[in-house]
Amino acid sequence: MRKEVIGPFQLFAMIVLFELGTAVVVPIGLESGHAVWISILLALPGGILLYLVFADLYRQFPDLVISGYTRKILGRWIGWPLSLLYLPVLMYNGSRNLREAGDLLISSTYDRTPIFIINSIMVIAVMYILYKGIEVFSRTAEIYFWLIVIMGLVSNFVVIISGLVHLKNLFPIHPGEWLEALGSAYPSIWIFPYGELVCFTAILPHFSTRNKVKKTGIGAIALSAFLLSFTHAVEMSVLGTDIYSRTTFPMFTTITLVNVANFIQRLDAIVILTLIIGVFFKMSIYCYAAVSIAADLFNVKEPRRLVIPVGVVVLFSSFVSAENYPMHLKDGIAFLKYILPFMCAVIPILLFLVHRFRRRFGLYK
Amino acid sequence: MRTKLIGLLTLYLGVSVLLTGCWNSRELNDLAIVSGIGMDKLDDEDGYRVTFQIINPTSSAPSTGASSSQPPVMVISSTDRTIFGALRKASRRMTRQLFFAHTQLMIVGEPLARSGINNLFDIFERSHELRLNTTVLIAKNSDAASVLKLLTALETQPSTGLVKKTQNTSRVWGENRRIGVFEVINGITGEGDFTINGIQIIGSAEEGKKKSSLEQTEAPAGSIMSGLGVFKNGKLISWLNGPESRGTQWLLDKLEETSVNIDSLDRNKDISVNVFYSKTSVKVDLQEGKPVFHIHIREEGSINEAGSFVDLSKEEELEKLKKELAEQTASEVKMALKAAQEKRSDIFNFGNELKRTHPELWKTVKKDWNSVFAEGELDLQVDAYIRGTGMRLKPYFPVEKRE
Amino acid sequence: MPKQTKESKTAEMASDKEQSPPILENLEENLKQIQSKLGNSPDLIIRNYESLDHVNHAAAVYINGLIDMERVEDYITHALSLDSLQEKAESVATVLERFSFAKGKALSIGKEKIVEDQNSLLEGLLSGDTMILFQGLTKAISVSTSGGEGRAVTEATTQVNIRGPKDSFTESLGTNLSLVRKRIKNPNLWIETLTIGAVTKTDVSIVHIHGLANEAMLQEFRKKLSEIHVDSILESGYIEQLIEENKYSPFPTIFNTERPDSVAGNLLEGRIALFVDGTPFVLIAPATFFMFFHTVEDYYQRYDVSSLIRILRFMCLLISLFGPAIFVAALNFHQEMIPTPLLINLASQREGVPFPVVIEVLLLEVTFEIIREAGIRMPSPIGQTVSIIGGLVLGQAAVQAGIVSPAMVIVVSLTGISSFATPAFNMALSVRLLRFVITFVSAYMGLYGIAITGLILIAHLCSLRSLGVPYMSPVAPFAAGDQKDIFLRTPLHFMKIRRRLVNLKSSVPGTSAQLRKDNPHEN
C-alpha cells in the first residue's frame, strides 16, 4: 500500500483544530481569574519548546511513532512497557473530550437524549473517518479549519457589535495577578492544551516535508494560542470573573447574550457546532494516536483493524468513567495534575535527553 | 461475509435508532410559548405564585390576528416553592408543555421585591431555555400577575410591548435603562447594590384584561415605566424618580439620549436640549479613609425647542446655555448621589470600581462600605457642548413680545 | 489523424479471432456466407459487377442505412462499373491487377484498407464500410463509406447558456471529434479509438492534448477502459459507471458534457475526454467536486458577475442539501433559534396541520419529485402543464386544505429550485438523494445530527479520487494558487499558471516548454 502523506498546511490545520478543540469552549486556567488570557500567552513559549522536542525526536526517527523510538532509545525492555502506558492515557483523554461534548449538548439542547446515543453517534463519525485513513482525515481538517475560522470571526464579530465587551473586566492587571497568571500557565495550561500535542508524535511520521516540521508547528501553535487567548478574553470581558468561573461552558453563555437589532440573537448553534467540530477532531487525533501506537506495539500490519476496538473503548469509558459532570471535572483536575504532565512532558523530554546523551557518547550500536 | 456483517450492523443500528425514537423532538403544536413570567409573594405561606403569560399563536400571527376573537395571550398562575416546580405544576392546567426559550420579560411584584429577590434567578443561569438577557421589571404598587394580564395597544404581545417600552424610553428619555437578568446577577454578586426598572399600572387593571379595552381610542388601562427601584442586600428599599433616576443613569454611564429643559434668560426651563451623546468616566479613590468619586461627564446636545427668545447666532448666548446644561446635569447627578447616600446604598458600582483599580485600598473599607460610601465626596466635572440648533437660529417671535 | 482500431481484449473476442475463417476464393461462396452470418437481413445489399471476359467478377457489399449512398454511387459503383474498366481492359487482365487497380486508382475515396478474414470483414460492414470482393482473391477492399442518417448539430438542450457557442455534440463520433478539433487547431490534440462491448462493438475515442495531459493518468485511463468486459455500451453512462473508482459513492467522479467548448476547455486544462459513438455526452476525467458547479459560461461573462453567480451556486448547493433538514431541526429541536415573531408566525401556521414536521417535509418533497419526474418524461408542451398544475394548484390546495403549512411549501420549493441551480444534472441528483438522508437524520437528532452527517459527508468527499486526483482539490488538499478559479472566477489575466492538480505540474500557459520536443507547438 502507498504510504499516506500529509502536507504542511494539513498539519497546520490539524494542530489548530486540535488545540482549539475543547479548550475554546470550556473554562481553562481558573486560578488566574480575569488574567486567564495572559496565562494562555504565558504558557505559549513552553508549549512551543515542548513541540520542538517532539519535532526533534521526529527528525531523528522520521518513520517511527513515539512507541517506536522509545524502544530504540530506552531499549526494548523499558521502552515497550513505557509506551504501553500511552494507550490508556490517550484513550481516556479522548473519552474525556467526548464526555465534555456530550455534556454540553445535553445541558444545552438535548436534555432528554441519553448520553450513550449522543456519544456513540460521535464515535461512529470518528471511526468512519479513521477508517478512511490519516490522509482523508487531514483533508477534512483542512476544510473544517476554514469553517472554524469563519465561525470564530462571525461569533466574535456579533459579540463585539452587540456591545457586550467591557474591557473593564480585563484590566487593570495588578502585580499579584501576573504571578497568579504565571502559576496557572505552568503547568496546567502548559499541559492542557499545549502538552497534549504529544499525540502528534503519531501523526508526524506521515508528514511530507521534513524540513518544514518546526515552522509549521510553531506557526500553528502560536496561531491557536492567540485565538484561544482572544476568545477567552472576549468571554471574560463579557461575563466578568464571577460568572465566567461559575459557568460550565463560558462560550455558550457568552453567545446567548448576543442580541443585534433584536434579530441576530440566540446563536447557540454556532457554539454547538464549534464544539462538535473541535471535539470531533481532537478525539479523532487521540484515537488515531492510540491506534497507531497500539499497532506499533503489537505489530498489527493493518492499523485500521484497531479503529473499531479503540472507538468502542473510548465510547464506553466516556460515560462509565464518571457518574456526573462535577465528578468528571474532579477527575480531570487530578488527571491533569498527576498523569498528563508525566506522559506529555516528562517522557518526551527524557527521551530527548537520553537520545542526545547516547548519540553524543556513541552508545548506539 | 464482510458485506453481510456490515449489512447486519447497519440494520441493527438503523432499527435501534428508529425504535428508540427522537428524544428531544417537540412539535410546535405541542408547545406553549411563554412570553413573560411574573413572580409574586404568597401572603400566608413560603413560596411563590408564578404567573405565565402564554402566547396564543392563532390570534397573534399577522395573517389571522385581527379576525380571531381570542386574546393574543393567556395567563395562568401556579404556586410552588421553586419556579421550576411551579412551571411543572402548571401542566395541570395546560394542554401543552410550557416552553421558555422565548421568554422576554420577568416581572417581580413589589411585595416580593421588598422581601428579597436574591435567589430568584438561579434557574435563568442553569436552564438552557431561559435567557440571561430577559428583561426584569418590578411591578410598582401591585403584583406581577396584574401587569402580565394587561393587554397592550399597537403591540400584539403584551410582553414584547413592555420590553419595547423599556427600550424605547431608555433610548430617548433616559430615566430607565435596559436591565436584564444578567445585569441583576452581576449586581447581586458584585460589591454594592443595584437598581431595577419599575412599571406601574395606570387605570383599571380589571378593564385592561379584556380585549374590548383595545377597541377604544383611549385604553382604560395601561402601564407606565416609573422610576428605578433601589435594592439593598437584594431587598427593595426605595424608589428613585425623575431627576434622581436620570442622574443614576448618568453616573452609571448608561445614558443614551435624553431631553433636558434648561433656563433661558428670564424664564425657567423653557429651552429644550436634546442630549444625544454622553460619556461618563468614573474614578474612585480613598483620601484619609473617605472615598472621593471623581466623575467626569462629557455630553453633547442640540437645541430642539426654544420657548422664549434666544439669539443662537451669538456665541455668548450659546456659552450661557452650555453652562446651564452642565449645571442642570450636575444637579441631577448630585440629587441621585444624595438619594443613594441617604439610603447608604451604593447603586453606582463605585465599590466595584474601587476594587478593580485599587484592590489593596478596597480591602481596608470592604467591611463597612455602605457607611463609608455614604460619607463619600463628589468631585464632579461636567463638560457640555451644544452642537446644533436645528433649522433656525432665532425663534420667530421677536424680542419685544417676550415681555 | 493517428487512428488505430484495436481489437477489444475480451477473451471472447480473442478466441473469435483465432477461429476467424479467411475469405474464400469463390466469390459466390463468400457472399453466401456473409448473408447467412447476418441472418439474411434485407438491409444487406450486394451489388455484382461482371467484367467483360466474364472471369473477373467483383461485388460490392454494404449495409443499407449505415452508408452514405452518394459516396457509394459516386465512387464505388462508378469505379467498378463496366465502362470504366473496359477502357483499361488490357491493363487489368488478371484479378490481382484488377484488384490493385481498383484499390490504387479507381477508388478515389478517402480511406480504404485491405481485410483478409471474415470477422473483420463483418465488423467493417457493420460500422458502415463497403466491402469490395473479387472472384479468386482471398482479400477484400474495405472502403470507408460510413454515413447514413444522423442528427444535425443543434443547440445544446441540457447545458444551455446565454452567451457562448450554440453547437452541441450529436450521436456521431466523427462529427463530435471534428467539433473539438475545429476548436483546438493543434497537432498535439491526440485521439485514439478503441472498441468496447462484445456485442455492440461501440467505438470510443480517448482524446487528450499531448503534453498537457498527464501521461500516468492517461495510462491508468486506458487500463481501466481495457478492463471493461461487457456486452453492450449504449451510452457513455455505462462506461462512466464501469470505470469509476468509488462505485458506491453517491457522487459522480466523472464529468459529462454535451458542449464542445466545455470539452475543449477541459482538454486544455489537461484532462482526458472520452467520446462514445452513439451519444452526445462526452466523459471527462479526472473530475473534481468543484467542476460540477462551474460552467463554461463563467469564463465568457465578466469576472465579477461570474464570481457572484458561482457564490450563488454554492449557496444553492447548501440550501438544497441542508434546507429542509435545518428547517426540521429548528422547528423540532431548536425552537429557541427562531426569532420570536417568526416563531409565533410559524406556530400559528402549524396549528391544525395534522402531521409532524418531518412527515410534512417528506410529503411535499416526494410530491415535488413526482412533479419533476412527470414533467421530464412528458412531451415538452404537456410538461409545462404538469408543472403548473402540480406546483401551483396542488401547493395552493394543500395549504388551503390545511394538510401542509405555507412556510413548508416555501422551504420545499426553495430547495427544489436551488437544486436546479447546479449546472451538472448528475451532481444535482446526488444532492437531492442526500437531502432526504440528511432530513431524516435531522428529524432524529436535530442540528447535532446534521453536523455529524456533514462531517461524515465531507470526510467521504475527501476520500474520493478521480483518476488519482483528490476529489476535493484544490480545497483539500489546499493549493493556494488554484483558489482563483474555485469559489470565485478571477479575471483571466490572473490565471497565468495552469491548474496544478490536474496536470500535476504547474506551468505557464502560452509557452511550449511542456510540450514534447518532437512536437513543436506554437501558441
Residue A326 contacts B where some CB pair is shorter than 8 Å:
no
Q: Could you tell me how many residues make up chain C?
A: 523
**Binning pLDDT at 50, 70 and 90, where does residue A266 land?**
confident
C331 vs B: CB within 8 A: yes
Asked if the Cβ–Cβ distance from C344 to B61 is below 8 Å, we say: yes
**Rounded Cα–Cα distance for residues B71 and B215 (Å):** 12
In a domain, A62, yes or no: yes
Q: Are residues B80 and B215 in the same domain?
A: yes
**Hey, are the CB atoms on C340 and B160 less than 8 Å from each other?**
yes
Which residues from chain A sit within 8 angstroms of residue B189, using beta carbons? 242-243
Of chain A residues 249-288, which have a CB less than 8 A from chain C?
262-263, 265-266, 268-269, 272-273, 276-277, 280
A111 near B CB under 8 A:
yes
The three three-digit cell numbers of residue C110, written as one number: 478517402
Residue A3 lies inside a defined structural domain of this protein: no
Q: Which of A132, A142, A263 sits opposite C339 (nearest CB)?
A: A263
Count how many domains chain B has: 2
User: Are the beta carbons of C333 and A139 separated by less than 8 Å?
Assistant: no
Contact between B24 and A242 using a beta-carbon 8 Å cutoff: no
Q: CB of A253 within 8 A of CB of A240?
A: no
Residue of B nearest to C351 (CA): B29
What's CA B376's distance to the chain center, in Å?
27
Closest partner residue to B132 (CB to CB) among A109, A111, A253 is A253
* B265 inside domain: yes
Cβ C2 vs Cβ C192: under 8 Å: yes
* Per-residue model confidence (pLDDT) at position C2: 40
Residue B51: exposed, middle, or buried by beta-carbon count in 10 A (0-12, 13-18, 19+)? buried
- Strand B194-203 and strand B221-232: the pairing is antiparallel
**Same structural domain, B218 and B93:** yes
* C439 contacts on B by Cβ (under 8 Å): none
Say whether A217 sits in a helix, a strand or coil. Answer: helix
Given an 8 Å threshold on Cβ–Cβ distance, is C443 in contact with B58?
A: no
Shared domain check, B36 and B162: yes
Q: Is A363 inside any structural domain? A: no
pLDDT of residue B67: 54
Chain B positions touching C447 (Cβ under 8 A) are none
Q: Report if residue A1 sits inside a domain.
A: no
In this prediction the ipTM stands at 0.93
Chain B positions with Cβ closer than 8 Å to C = 17, 21-22, 24-29, 31, 33, 35, 55, 57-58, 60-64, 99, 101-102, 104, 129, 157, 160
d(C-alpha A165, C-alpha C404), whole Å:
44
Residue ending a domain, among B239, B270, B303, is: B239
Parent domain of B293: 241-403
Cα distance from B81 to chain C (closest Cα, Å)? 27
Q: How far is A77 from chain C (nearest CA, A)?
A: 39
Contact B25 C443 (CB under 8 A): yes
CB–CB of A246 and B131 under 8 A?
no
**Cβ contact, residue pair A108, B132, below 8 Å:** no
Query: Over chain C (523 residues), what is each successive 10-residue block's mean pLDDT?
Result: 40 50 81 86 82 69 83 73 55 66 65 81 84 81 78 84 89 90 91 90 91 88 91 91 88 93 90 92 92 91 93 94 93 88 88 87 89 81 77 85 90 91 90 93 90 94 90 84 84 68 44 36 32
Q: Which residue type occupies C374?
A: A
Residues B148 and B257 in one domain: no
- What is the rounded CA–CA span in Å between residue B176 and residue B158? 19
What is the nearest CA distance from B9 to chain A, expressed in angstroms? Answer: 12
Residue A362 in any domain: the answer is no
B125 is a domain residue: yes
DSSP per residue over C218-236, as a string? HHHHHHHHHT---S---SH
Instruction: Decide if B8 is inside a domain.
Output: no
CB contact under 8 A, B99 and C335: yes
Residues of B in CB contact (< 8 Å) with A are 13, 20, 23-24, 101, 125, 128, 131-133, 182, 185-186, 189-190, 356-357, 359
Q: How do strand B135-140 and strand B105-109 relate by DSSP bridges?
A: parallel
Closest of C95, C45, C57, C86 to residue C103, by C-alpha: C95
Q: Check CB contact under 8 Å for C334 and A139.
A: no
Distance CA C398, CA C408 (A): 11
A122 contacts on C by Cβ (under 8 Å): 452
Question: Which CATH number fits the domain that encloses residue B300?
Answer: 3.30.300.210
Structural contact between residues C64 and C45, judged by C-beta atoms closer than 8 angstroms? yes
DSSP C106-166: I---S-EEEE-BHHHHHHHHHTTEEEEEETT-S-EEEEE-B----PPP-B-SSS--SSS--
Q: By the CB < 8 Å criterion, does C475 face chain B?
A: no
- Please tell me the distance in Å from A123's CA to the nearest CA on chain B: 13
C333/A109 Cβ within 8 A: yes
Minimum CA–CA partner of B31 in chain C: C347
pLDDT, averaged in runs of 10, over chain B (403 residues): 73 66 80 93 86 87 61 91 90 90 92 90 88 92 91 86 91 90 91 91 85 82 90 91 91 90 80 92 88 93 87 87 92 93 90 88 88 90 91 79 46
Cβ(B381)–Cβ(B281) under 8 Å?
Answer: no
In a domain, A365, yes or no: no
Q: Does B111 share its domain with B216?
A: yes
Measure in Å the smallest separation between the Cα of A273 and chain C Cα atoms.
7
CB contact under 8 A, A272 and C446: no
C-alpha cell at C289: 467536486
| B224: β partners | B200
Residue B49 within any structural domain of the chain: yes
Closest by Cβ to A256, choosing from B24, B131, B185: B131
**Are A172 and B356 inside 8 Å of each other by CB?**
yes
Nearest CA in chain B to C341: B61
Q: Identify the residue whose cell numbers are 481553562.
A: A28
State which residue of chain C sits closest to B54, comparing Cα positions.
Answer: C344
The tally of CA atoms less than 13 A away on the side-chain side of residue B98 is: 29
The total of other beta-carbon atoms located within 10 Å of residue B50's CB is 24
Are residues B255 and B398 both part of a single domain?
yes
Q: Which of C298, C251, C337 is nearest to C495 (CA)?
A: C298
Domain assignment of residue B22, yes or no: no
Q: Which of B239, B268, B301 is the last residue of a domain?
A: B239
Q: Between chain A and chain B, how many beta carbons pairs sit less than 8 Å apart?
A: 41
Q: Residue B202 falls within a domain, yes or no? A: yes
Record: contact C456-A125, CB cut-off 8 A: yes
Q: Please say whether the beta carbons of A340 and A83 come within 8 A.
A: no
Q: Which of B356, B358, B361, B362 to mutate to test the interface with A (most CBs of A within 10 A)?
A: B356
DSSP assigned state of B79: E
3-class state of residue B291 by DSSP: strand
| pLDDT > 50? residue A191 | yes
- Is the domain of B399 the same as that of B272? yes
| Residue finishing a domain among B194, B220, B239 | B239
Instruction: Tell me: do B234 and B164 sit in the same domain.
Output: yes
C83: contact with B, CB 8 A cutoff = no
A113 to chain B: closest CA residue: B23
If asked whether residues B171 and B303 sit together in one domain, one would say no
Does A256 contact B23 at a Cβ distance shorter than 8 Å? no
Chain B CB contacts of A256 under 8 Å are 131-133
Whether residue B389 sits in one domain with residue B330 = yes
Looking at residue C306, its pLDDT comes to: 92
Q: Which chains touch A (3 or more CB pairs under 8 A)?
A: B, C
* Surface of C (340-399) touching B: CB under 8 A: 340, 343-351, 353, 356-357
In the prediction, which pLDDT does A111 show?
86
C-beta atoms of A128 and C475 within 8 A: no
- CATH code of A88's domain: 1.10.4160.10
Q: How many residues does chain A have?
A: 365
For the purposes of burial, counting CB atoms within 10 Å of the CB of C387, is it exposed (0-12), middle (13-18) or buried (19 or more)?
Answer: middle
Identify the chains in contact with C, defined as 3+ C-beta pairs within 8 A.
A, B
CB contact under 8 A, B27 and C356: yes
Chain A: give the shortest CA distance to residue C272, in Å.
24
Same domain, residue pair B95 and B147: yes
Nearest beta carbon to residue B55 from set C344, C350, C356? C344
List the beta bridge partners of residue B298: B279, B383
- pLDDT at position C115: 83
Please state the domain count of chain A: 1
* Chain A residues touching B131 at Cβ < 8 A: 256, 266
Q: Domain check: are B230 and B306 in the same one?
A: no
Nine-digit cell string for C354: 395534522
CB B213 within 8 A of CB B151: yes
* Closest chain B residue to A246, measured at CA: B125
Query: For residue A115, what are the domain limits?
Result: 8-353
